[in-house]
Chains A and B, each alone.
Chain A
């Protein structure tokens, strides 16, 4: 056991088992105290390496993460405190490993429920190697203005209120971490505050004892008086009684042992802390209070008189000139976390993303304001979902049905078209689903499947301007633009595309108006007169029919229609539809275990 200071303003710790909040609290405390270096040098997270980003004041710092205790100790030879946040199952093993490191002097064990036989080994090892174990089952400890273990003293507000950002003159030790918070508050009220406070933990056999720390405080010149809060059960307080009797402590000790109520109960009761069990007169709170009083400690008659006793003792020391009142400093303000500041309404921050089509914040996700459950309950189809997410409105059933037909018709067109071919080649190269899918999708463009938007744009423009098919087609020709939506590599005037026929039949039956379609047919009639393969293809059919859908449904303003055509919504239909086929081709190739594709030489013209 060390005999004097455990910590200083330059003490650095290694933190075992990454926990963001306690580390951030330690760093915030550092900032509050004006420390130049963060009190956490490194983090040990078994099996992980790298860095953790945390705030040190206003700046972010990267604290190294090591996968083993040995590596961390080698990397940070000056870090001599080991803060162990391991679970009760593994705390003993990791603590022992830390104690065995020559660079580690102090090990604080937070876990509650470490088996006693394991703790015994830790104590025996620490004792014979002059190291200090704080805990198990503790929040840790704090040296005001210098160093803080984990969650000790709670929130920053509490630390500020208890003036723990600068040293006072009182050494405090208790078993309970919760009570330490209460006592830090009390001590700050009636004295110049804490110099150092340690919670030794509630276990039957704590790694270091009340008297260990009192004797240490006695050797620290800045500590002018000590406050001890004990509790019933165990005999720990008697080692303090002995030390007092032997005159080893020459500073005033104000002490109280909690649990005087235990006498009320006939049976033995264990109060939360494993060690807080009444067992005979010696271990009772009354017995210990009396023994401490007899040994010369200042012991009140009840807990509520404790505060007054502390004040009285402190005031006397001031009177005697042993304590000179210190000048108060204002600690810096810890920058508030953005999230909590926004929550409390203190700041506002611009958002970086805006979304109008869906919302996943409530009980269930909504598509354009329609909750998922109604989509299912009302028997909506994919077309309805598309109309909600793409057009932000519920379109009439014939419209959504038309969208579904488009998707069904465009879902695939055999393995030879460029998209499917690319997907097949990629899948056979052993690539994953997404790679195979996108390599197919990437071929979609002006020459493959991407003509719907252009078809719609040009047909609309020509129709709206009242151009005759002749004027339209010849005008395009003059500009050197092929009429999109017209022409097919295989289909002919006497061998129409079945898909086009299906779409047109559906529209004639269900659409209130098919003026754009009629115009497209007139254009086709003209182009067919020029060449037999200049048929209205599926792009042209969908493009023109979509114009009818937008204009005829009465659900869109003219402006909206222009925008839809402008942005290029309609290619989306093809991309979505063809994805179904491309995914199918990927699965097909994988299922067939097809080897890497290699194009045959014979099929290539090698030339200069």
Chain B
């Protein structure tokens, strides 16, 4: 798809990429939102308008693109693979290049429809907006990225005079053309830094000083908005000698949400998994997966180990769920609700190591939760740690049909067996 698009059109921004899966509390923003943000920072982006109704489409074509013969019409969903996706109404392709008078017709087939791509899963995602963009003619494509670097403990700018394909491909084909410019985390970007980047990009037609300014603006956006990755690929030159961010990936630091209110307000809950939205409300760390064993574990590390062992015994976890080291009874109840609402779940595995928490507290939490939630599937419980004997006794005396396990391995084995019944 990338190759095809490359030849046909200059791609504009695709902020939604393959790295943007449904992830807990991980901000994804739509392509048009990313373009808008870059535009605010004075970075050249292809001209575009996001619309959500046919009337808006008509209006946009008339007022924003009066002289364009062709426009690019792009479905806005938070998943990659849009070009090759299919709508549930049968319409093929989430991205189209069409004559200006067909825009209305094509946009009408996208708006409000469900687009299924290889990344959305069979349930697809609803297209609330389409993004109409100008079609550019490009004369040169380069690669530009800013990321946080482990080695230099600061931002690192990566530039390559070739672009358009993935950085991995570029690194393989043109290792000598890639330059890396570390930026001092305390000083920020200097004119020399920016000049070195531009020299690495080696633009053919764009003005050098303008290009230096564009690099500095990109760095400014990266820092001020707490980005963890800003990748412009391609950073292109147009036939009108302009440097344009033709396609961009923007990742934001979730930890900075508290001071990036404006950015995080762009979150679109219509694109998120309802189970994860519910979990987030209960302050649970939950990620929906496709397996049959629901997991409830305290601690992210233990949760990972638990999933590994389930897999080792031939099962598949239905989720990642970390109730935290200090879960309240309320959270345990919420966790059970989310697990039991998932039809795919055939067995539940509770794995708790009472390090800071005490097992008896957890056990009574489980018993009370089970009273409130109708349990339709077998529950395997493994408790270890502080007050484990009291905890086990509470479970036993509750009269619940729980399967208790001796250790993690035993628990996983029992859960897999219970799920396959």
| Chain A residues within 8 Å of B, Cβ to Cβ | 88-89, 113-117, 120-121, 123-124, 127, 139, 151, 153-155, 157-158, 174-182, 185, 202, 204-205, 229, 231-232, 235-236, 258-261, 264-265, 267-274, 276-277, 279, 285, 302-304
Asked if B255 contacts A231 (CB within 8 A), the reply is no
> A120 touches which one: B154, B254, B353 (CB < 8 A)?
B154
Asked if A260 contacts B301 (CB within 8 A), the reply is no
Residue with the greatest number of chain B CB neighbours at <10 A, chosen from A114, A179, A185 = A179
Inter-subunit contact B226/A116 (CB<8 Å): yes
Q: Mark B316-329, 1 if CB is under 8 A from A, else 0.
A: 11001010010000
Q: Assess whether B217 is interfacial by the CB under 8 Å rule.
A: no
Stretch of B38-46, B108-116, B284-292 at the chain-chain interface: B284-292
- Is the Cβ of B299 less than 8 Å from the Cβ of A177? yes
Shortest C-beta distance, B177 to chain A (Å), equals 22
Residues of A near B18 (CB, < 8 A) are: 268
Task: Knowing A116-B228, A158-B355, A272-B303 are in contact, say whether A124-B185 is a contact too (CB < 8 A).
Answer: yes
Interchain CA distance A230-B312 in the complex, whole Å: 18
Residues in B neighbouring A116, C-beta threshold 8 A: 148, 226, 228, 253, 255-256
9 extra interface residue pairs, beta carbon distance < 8 Å, beyond A117-B223, A176-B299, A303-B305 = A115-B259, A117-B155, A117-B226, A155-B355, A178-B353, A202-B301, A236-B150, A268-B21, A270-B23
The reply to whether A177 and B153 contact each other, CB–CB distance below 8 Å, is no
Choose the segment among B123-131, B330-338, B380-388 that binds chain A (4+ C-beta atoms closer than 8 Å): B380-388
Contact yes or no, A276 B304, CB < 8 A? yes
User: In the complex, what residue of chain B is closest to A127 when comparing beta carbons?
Assistant: B153
Which chain B residues border A279 with CB–CB below 8 Å?
19
Q: Identify whether the interface residues of B are mostly helix, strand, loop, or mixed.
A: mixed
**List of A residues within 8 angstroms of B317 by Cβ:** 261, 264
Question: What chain B residues lie within 8 Å of A274 (beta carbons)?
Answer: 254-255
B309 within 8 A of A: yes
Q: Which residue of B lies closest to A229 (CB)?
A: B301
Closest partner residue, chain A, to B298 (CB atom): A178
Partner of B26, one of A88, A259, A270: A270
27 intermolecular pairs with C-beta atoms under 8 Å apart? A88-B255, A117-B226, A124-B153, A155-B358, A175-B301, A176-B302, A178-B301, A178-B353, A179-B302, A182-B353, A202-B300, A205-B148, A231-B301, A258-B304, A260-B308, A261-B310, A264-B316, A267-B22, A267-B119, A268-B18, A270-B24, A271-B304, A271-B307, A271-B320, A274-B254, A303-B308, A304-B409
- Cβ distance A280 to chain B, nearest Cβ, rounded Å: 8
Q: Provide the residues of chain A in CB contact with B289, threshold 8 Å.
A: 264-265, 269
| A270 CA / B226 CA spacing, docked (Å) | 19
Q: How far is the CB of B139 from chain A (nearest CB, A)?
A: 32
- Is B408 close to A, CB under 8 A? yes
- Give the complex CA separation of A151 and B299 in angstroms: 14
Known contacts A155-B355, A181-B385, A268-B23, A115 near B309 by CB under 8 Å: no
Please name the residue on chain B nearest to A136 by beta carbon. Answer: B255
A271 touching B287 by the CB < 8 A rule? Answer: yes
Q: Which A residues are in CB contact (< 8 Å) with B258? A: 88-89, 113
A180 to B150, CA, bound (A): 24
CA distance A185 to B325 in the complex (A): 16
Closest 4 CB pairs of A and B: A178-B299, A176-B301, A272-B300, A179-B301
- List the A residue with the shortest CB-CB distance to B316: A264
**B311 located at the interface, meaning its Cβ lies under 8 Å from any Cβ of chain A in the complex:** yes
Query: B257 → chain A, closest Cβ, in Å?
Result: 8
The reply to whether B254 and A153 contact each other, CB–CB distance below 8 Å, is no
Give chain B nearest CB distance to A403 CB in angstroms: 47
Given A117-B226, A270-B26, A303-B305; A124-B186 close (CB under 8 Å): yes
In the complex, which residue of chain B has the Cβ closest to the Cβ of A272?
B300
How far does the Cβ of B360 sit from chain A's closest Cβ, in whole Å? 10
Q: Which of A180, A235, A274 has the most CB of B within 10 A?
A: A274
Q: A261's contact among B298, B308, B322, B355, by CB below 8 Å, is which?
A: B308
**Does residue B234 face the partner (Cβ distance < 8 Å to A)?**
no
Return the contact of A182 from the options B21, B185, B302, B310 (Cβ within 8 A).
B302
CA distance A531 to B212 in the complex (A): 112
Question: Which residues of B are found within 8 Å of A205, using beta-carbon distances?
Answer: 148, 150, 153
B356 within 8 A of A: yes
Task: Tell me if B391 is interfacial: C-beta within 8 Å of chain A.
Answer: no
Residue of B nearest to A123 (CB): B153
Whether B308 lies near A259 (C-beta < 8 A) is yes
| CA A123 to CA B19, docked complex, whole Å | 27
CB A88 to nearest CB in B, in angstroms, measures 6
Q: Given contacts A205-B150, A272-B300, are A185 and B384 in contact (CB under 8 A)?
A: yes
Chain A residues, CB < 8 A from B23: 268-270, 277
- Please, which residues of chain A bring their CB within 8 A of the CB of B302? 176, 178-179, 182
A56 to chain B, nearest CB (A): 21
Chain B residue, CB-CB nearest to A112: B255
B85 within 8 A of A: no
Contact of A155 among B24, B320, B386 (CB under 8 A): B386
